[in-house]
Amino acid sequence: MKRPKLVVQKNFFDRGVEILTCLAVLVSFAFPIYFYQDLPEQIPMHFNASGTPDRIGARSSIWILPILGAVLCLGIHRLIKYPHLFNYPQKITPQNAEVNYRMAQRSLRMINLIVAGSIAYITLEIIFSSLGRSKGFSGEFLIIFSVLMLGTPLFFLLKMRRMKRKEKK
């Protein structure tokens, strides 16, 4: 059986998350634009697990991360429009399609926001490290990023499984 193709309407929360994602992408470009002339010719481009820089690159390499982030966020944004192609923990029927699609789309929107926000933060840390205003990343960033990236899909997966159990009753 083919899955139903539905257009799931966005609510206020969904629009808000998309706006915040766009703002984070714009910020990841705004910081390099603002600070570019102040950056030294060589800037840190990679940080080890303790947060200290362990690889340097040319000043122009500051653009790699924002461009990569924008392409990734745009790709995820486009993917959100095709929820009937995703994998689900239950069989999708015309009765449960809309709610499952909405949750899957919301999960991807949240992941997109986390990615965009993280890229903006990493770009800012690279700039501040280059300018001597920061010693590198705090260990908390990696923990928070990991928890958010793993926790978000897990949260929505558990929510969908709970719905599946309610559907059977």
pLDDT digits (tens, 9 = 90+) for 36-47: 999 999 998 887
Domain ranges of the chain: 12-164
DSSP string of 2-58, one letter each residue: PPP---PPP-HHHHHHHHHHHHHHHHHHHHHHHHGGGS-SEEEEEE-TTS-EEEEEE
Residue type, 10: K
Structure tokens at 162: 């709970």
Instruction: List, for residues 69-92, the tens digit of each pLDDT value.
Output: 999 999 999 999 999 999 888 888
Mean confidence (pLDDT) of the chain: 89
Contact 111, 76 (CB under 8 A): yes
pTM attached to this predicted model: 0.87
- pLDDT by residue (tens digit) across 135-157? 667 777 778 888 998 998 888 88
Higher pLDDT, 25 or 153: 25
